Structure 1
């Protein structure tokens, strides 16, 4: 099975590293800066908040898909790890590197990007995947997992084989047939991405402040109200039910620290991907996350003033940087 990671940034490199360490053939399609960093450091180094640290070199590193002709055949599986706003324009590139029986797995946060491309690739096996943990890109080609969780993939023969390889290596991987609850449940957790960028604090420090948690709780309540109006059940990624999260986040500091020990069991360095985008002066995915709460809320007549304000704040940060 030939696997490609299309648009390998922080999450894509972490996924590539786990796949390589699990004995799978992986090619990275990435920016020249990522390729140079990996070569300069003799591979991708994966680390995590529990002390894992290992380095591996992918099978190939490609910065231009026309180079793909140097590889025998086409890719059986392509993981698309680009940002949401980049997805709608890549249909032709994906067709150039796949065959009729390829699986294309979209690993984006939020809503909208998958719908923007699926009609252009309707004869392929199109799947979705989720990264329910934080990955921070560190110096020297290190990609650091700062929170708990394992990659979650939509079920088909390719992803079942990938799951088996990852589990054998001890990484873990979840498979789901119905991905709608997974996407909706992940968005609930993703609502903190923007708030982490706004506070400009490590996630653990951010969640230690009552006022910050209260804003997150209010943003989550809005999404839960939208999901209730849409009659959508959310997948449970945490130890507690999704509907309980706003209540727990709203607890006083002393009680929150007692009740939510596992929620705070994250690396002190962990930051959100949106914080990384703001720092790097890149366009964020806020329109597909908090913005999706606003737009879907409008469809069902649910008011979402907190998420609307968060979107506006992130837009201001984008312009400022």
Structure 2
């Protein structure tokens, strides 16, 4: 009888803990998270509510991992700004496993690739909101997880992970073109997250003419950049994507507030530099102006710095 697949979840929070919980039903899972979460989950277990059903789980959850027993898969679910430090801290384990990024933004896979040649890109189209230290609400599910060998391709490692996720009850779609999927997810994030964070409203409230004009300009700038890069998005042109956003995605996630807003409300640094900020950097490298993406990035950075002024 074969031994169970071993999975390590690093930077487990609102995304990583639900993944760890569901996977613990079919694999040997360890989650590394903040001390307060690890202590609470070790005492009381962990629960999921909402679009993934209502379930309770018990699985190993620690703040620091002891030992170097290898894992088959390492899932990195931290904020993008923490990717390098996490990979450096666990470099021996990262170097010996298939490493999967389930993170927002552009650049995480490239960072992980500095520590291993076995990188799998992952796209999460699900909304998660923490409910205290030991529970997460799944607020919306706009599609299956997407996974693929980075920057492109399918292989046994990807398909093995897809099989495990499926057995755990997590919808998944393997793809041979994960880089395009990552940029497609980034397009969604750049369109909605920062504007929701600045205004404090849910996605459904962003469909008015003034906010929609800003979204349109952000989207059109991104298309110019990615088309120059030769990256294939899921929607052939800006108007097709905007129609999808207006008619399909926002209705499903109308009540969802962005994780960026949650970060700002808690005084945490956001991932803006890996979302719209990444678009600005690529635009500068290619000689393409991206004024709307630059402006909204600056506004989010101001909200971050203004937190101390608001608190005082």
TM norm structure 2: 0.86
Offset of residue 203 of structure 1 = 2.1
Structure 1 residues 79 and 242, CA gap change in structure 2 (3 angstroms): farther
Structure 1 residues 316 and 177, CA gap change in structure 2 (3 angstroms): same
* 1:195 maps to 2:195: yes
* 1:306 maps to 2:292: yes
Offset of residue 169 of structure 1 = 4.7
Pairing of 1:71-110 with structure 2 (within 5 A): 73-98=69-94, 100=96, 102-110=97-105
- C-alpha distance in structure 2 between counterparts of 1:91 and 1:261, whole Å: 36
Offset of residue 267 of structure 1 = 5.9
Partner of 2:126 in structure 1?
Answer: 133
- C-alpha distance in structure 1 between counterparts of 2:218 and 2:208, whole Å: 16
Q: Is the 8 A contact 1:150 1:174 kept in 2?
A: yes
User: 1:180-204: per-residue Cα shift (whole Å, max 9, x none)?
Assistant: 2112111110112111111111222
Pairing of 1:146-157 with structure 2 (within 5 A): 146-147=139-140, 148-154=142-148, 155-157=154-156
**Aligned-residue RMSD, C-alpha:** 2.4
User: 1:86-143: per-residue Cα shift (whole Å, max 9, x none)?
Assistant: 112233322233563x111122222223323423x24x41222111222111236322
Offset of residue 6 of structure 1 = 0.3
- C-alpha distance in structure 2 between counterparts of 1:42 and 1:311, whole Å: 38
Q: Using CA pairs below 8 Å that are at least 6 residues apart, which structure has the higher relative contact order? A: 1
* 1:263 maps to 2:250: yes
Offset of residue 291 of structure 1 = 0.6
Structure 1 residues 15 and 242, CA gap change in structure 2 (3 angstroms): farther
- C-alpha distance in structure 2 between counterparts of 1:242 and 1:145, whole Å: 30
Residue range with higher mean Cα deviation, 285-294 or 31-40: 31-40
Q: Is the 8 A contact 1:83 1:108 kept in 2?
A: yes
Structure 1 residues 172 and 160, CA gap change in structure 2 (3 angstroms): same
TM norm structure 1: 0.84
Partner of 1:318 in structure 2?
Answer: 304
- C-alpha distance in structure 1 between counterparts of 2:169 and 2:106, whole Å: 31
Pairing of 1:1-321 with structure 2 (within 5 A): 1-21=5-25, 23-48=26-51, 52-58=53-59, 60-65=60-65, 67-68=66-67, 73-98=69-94, 100=96, 102-119=97-114, 121-122=115-116, 124-139=117-132, 141-147=134-140, 148-154=142-148, 155-191=154-190, 192-204=192-204, 206-236=205-235, 243-245=238-240, 247-248=242-243, 260=247, 263-266=250-253, 268=255, 270-321=256-307
Q: Is the 8 A contact 1:130 1:151 kept in 2?
A: yes
**Unaligned ranges ≥5, structure 1:** 251-255
- C-alpha distance in structure 2 between counterparts of 1:37 and 1:202, whole Å: 29
Q: Is the 8 A contact 1:146 1:267 kept in 2?
A: no
Offset of residue 304 of structure 1 = 0.8
